[in-house]
Structure 1
Amino acid sequence: MKKEAVFVYSDDLLAYKFKEGHPFDQKRLGITLDLLKKQHAIKEEDIVKPRMATDEELMLIHDPSFVNAVRTAGQGKLSGDRADSYGLGTEDTPIFPGMHEASALLVGGTLTAADYVMSGKSLHALNLGGGLHHGFRGKASGFCVYNDSSVAIKYIQKKYNARVLYVDTDAHHGDGVQWSFYDDPSVCTFSIHETGRYLFPGTGNINERGQGQGYGYTFNMPVDAFTEDESWLASYKTAFREIIEYFKPDVILTQNGADAHYYDPLTHLSATMNIYREIPRLAHELAHEYCGGRWIAVGGGGYDIWRVVPRAWSMIWMEMAGYRQTSGALPADWISKWQPESPVRLPEHWDDPDGIYTPIPRKQEITEKNAQTLDKCLYPIRSYKTAPDNKSP
């Protein structure tokens, strides 16, 4: 019988670990799963193990020399000069033992999720270990070695001949996925992120719309620093609805970075848990409306691994699985288990309390600016709708 949703996980995913003190900490996966278990929102039979991506699968996107360099680096045999040319051994992406195997398992987790959904074994699938959207064909970048979403999209195209809509709600622009499919009209990418004026990787401008046959299938919604829930959600909901109606995909792949929250230490947005309830809710609704329910979701950024990521990511699974109790108190036994390890006081409720930050004095100005950016972001769609000959822009 077809399952509603599967949760891709094994403890082996925690091996993707750069060094102590690095902001990208996969311990958040275990903390999130424990929250779901203590909330009684997941069962053992919902959990499926990831497989490791093969070299052939990785090379659907990545250059063979890069894959070989990552393997060699993880064995401690890559020279400093060669490592640097591949974006390895940097402050963002330090080399660690077994780097190739750990990275390939994250990719394989997303491929596992893709196969469950595309083969019809499950309507939805979640791999929180994935979402490494900054990886490029021949270079690691921004905490990302291999780009699991790009590999999975190419894999879905090749194996299932499907049109994919990629939606990225990480606070950082999904640059690696965008450039992988910039000239491909069978893949549409939409990234809503903090403007690159203040944040890595500095790309994701509204005028990045694709090239060649792929022109008009890349959408970027860069929101201003300090953007709050209402403006962020207005941009997300409007853009997502118009883009999916325009593109009509066979499947949705969402990247769910949890770093737009006010507490995140690496970004400058002012969102709360309100957006993390609505992000998967809309994706779920539109997947059923346009794609027969086919929805694959991955993780991504999220650097407050105690107060933000576990709640935000749990809400994705609970939406997928039809578990509706996403408000009220968090399980007391989850708090008591993790509080001794947490450097900050853990939240006691699914929602943030009022007043977690001082009201932004420029709220109206920021909201108006984001509304103008949204109009520009959606210009190709809106001009297409109003064109007399109704030809693609």
Structure 2
Amino acid sequence: MFWDDRLVSYDFGPGHPMNPVRVELTMALARELGVLDRPGVRVSGFAPADDKLLRLVHEEAYIAAVKHAGATGLPEPRHGLGTDDNPVFLGMHDASALVTGASVAAAEAVWTGRAEHAANISGGLHHALSGAASGFCVYNDPAIAIAWLLENGAERVAYVDIDVHHGDGVQAAFYDDPRVLTISLHETPRTLFPGTGFPTETGADGTAVNVSLPPGTNDASWLRAFDAVVPQLLRRFRPQVLVTQQGADSHALDPLAHLILSVDGQRTAYAALHRLAHETAGGRWVLTGGGGYELVQVVPRAWTHLLAEASGDPVPPGTETPEGWREFVRQRTGEIAPRRMTDGTDVVEVHRWGNGYDPANPVDQAILATRREVFPEHGLDPMTDE
């Protein structure tokens, strides 16, 4: 676990959805539940990313613009800095480089064998493009971590993004690079930012994979889509490292999107990713946070489940949140914290794709559209799992 209290300096200011209190509350909950004190869990420091690392993905002129904006407070419109989504704040470069440094440190720890799994929950800023900020993201830390792995000898890296928004910046960074498989499950771009992520965006040799889900997709349908696409492709691709982005904004309470997952559905997805890291990537798993704008009710519980899952000792869903944490939430935000680590949702057994396709079901339509576009490129049958 890579953490520094200065990570909360990634702050676009009052009223912005990307409030760093969500990360602060997550760390407090994970500590109170003892997740960070478990055997085999280390909380480590790290160095911020330097310009050489940032240039693995970002243009030099863009890095200079971020530095200038962060030093002066002045917008850089050509580089997407100073918009409603990406307002300029003092110290912007330093804060963004710190987030990136944590993700690169996680990648390095896993690649060198110092850790089997490594996490940066402040990371997952997957919208940033090579020359522009986008969607609350200044530097694209998961893309830079993947680029670092490639620079240091990795030949196959898989990236799975379960944020409600398309992982467009990471896809763009590796769209023509068959060494990187990017898989994104997200709300359809017809109804949600950033307007990309259609199944027809397939990259080099079918290594860009997009599952575009309709508004209203619930736990069971989302997990069916995951099960119908992700395991098969990871097994064929055989990545040396699995990098994942766990945006919590697929939750029903999230104010910016329209899927209706529960915390219980989300933690089920985390467990599936953990299993796949062991099955397909030798256990080498780099995990990040991402989006998530229900700051109290959703993100802290979801990401505490994520960290606990990565530790090998999941938190039972019926666990009560600690009284001390609930009081901290009240003092810090004025809100009433959730009392349990569950939404009380029964995550039913996944109705697997091999059990039949329903042509009238919009989720099944979305699944089949993706499988038809990319499965043949990997020697897989779109209609079966063979």
Change in 2 beyond 3 A, CA 1:157/1:247: same
In the alignment, structure 1 residue 352 sits paired with structure 2 residue 343: yes
Structure 1 residues 265, 343: closer, same or farther in 2, change over 3 A? farther
Q: Conserved in 2, the CA contact under 8 Å of 1:209 and 1:217?
A: yes
Report what 2:92 is aligned to.
99
d(CA) in 2 for partners of 1:366, 1:105: 47
Output the CA distance in 1 between the equivalents of 2:77 and 2:360. 41
Structure 1 residues 253 and 386, CA, compared in 2 at 3 Å: closer, same or farther? closer
Which residue number corresponds to residue 152 of structure 1? 145
Q: Do the aligned residues in 2 keep the contact of 1:103 with 1:146 (CA within 8 Å)?
A: yes
Please name the residue that 1:9 is paired with.
3
Residue 274 of structure 2 aligns with which residue? 284
- Report the Cα distance in structure 2 between the residues aligned to 1:91 and 1:263, rounded to whole angstroms: 22
Q: 2:107 aligns with which of 114, 118, 134?
A: 114
Q: Residue type of the partner of 2:363?
A: N
Distance 1:54 1:341 in 2: 33
Does residue 31 (structure 1) correspond to residue 21 (structure 2)? The answer is no
Shift of residue 112, structure 1, vs aligned partner:
0.6
Task: Give the Å deviation of 1:367.
Answer: 8.2
Q: How does 1:201-350 map to 2 (within 5 A)?
A: 201-210=194-203, 214-328=204-318, 329-342=320-333, 344-350=335-341
Go from structure 1 to structure 2 and tell me whether the alpha carbon gap of 1:93 and 1:383 turns closer, same or farther (over 3 Å shift). closer
Alpha carbons of 1:153 and 1:354: their partners in 2 closer, same or farther (altered >3 Å)?
A: closer
1:390 alignment partner in structure 2: none
Give the paired residue count. 367
The aligned residue for residue 139 of structure 1 is 132
In structure 1, stretches of 5+ residues that fail to align are 1-6, 356-364, 388-393
* CA distance in 2 between partners of 1:238 and 1:291 (Å): 19
Offset of 1:173 from its aligned partner? 0.4
1:342 to partner: Cα distance: 3.5
Q: Which residue identity does 1:29 align to in structure 2?
A: V
Q: CA deviation at 1:344?
A: 4.2
2:338 maps to a residue whose letter is P
Q: What corresponds to 1:74 in structure 2?
A: 70
- Contact 2:123 / 2:290 at 8 angstroms: preserved in 1? yes
Q: TM-score, normalised by structure 2?
A: 0.91
Mark the CA change 1:77 to 1:40 in structure 2 (over 3 Å): closer, same or farther: closer
Runs of 4+ aligned residues of structure 1 deviating over 2 Å after TM superposition are: 339-345, 382-387
Identical aligned residues as a percent: 39
RMSD after superposition = 1.9
Query: Which deviates more from structure 2 when the two are superposed, residues 378-387 or residues 246-255?
Result: 378-387
Q: Distance in 2 between matches of 1:18 and 1:206?
A: 32
- Displacement of 1:49 in angstroms is 1.4
Inter-partner Cα distance in structure 1 for 2:110 and 2:65 = 32
Whole-Å separation in 1 of the counterparts to 2:92 and 2:159: 26
Work out the CA distance in 1 between the residues paired with 2:116 and 2:224. 27
My pick for the range that moved more, 62-71 or 154-163, is 154-163
Distance in 2, matches of 1:386 and 1:65, equals 42
State the SS of the aligned residue for 1:296: strand
Q: Counterparts of 2:264 and 2:175 in 1: how far apart (Å)?
A: 32
**Counterpart-to-counterpart distance in 2, 1:37 and 1:91:** 34
- Could you tell me how far apart the structure 2 residues matched to 1:385 and 1:348 are? 47
Distance 1:367 1:63, change over 3 A: farther
Q: 1:89 and 1:143 mapped to 2: Cα distance? A: 11
Shift of 1:237: 2.1
- Cα distance in 2 for partners of 1:382, 1:366 equals 20
Distance 1:265 1:115, change over 3 A: same
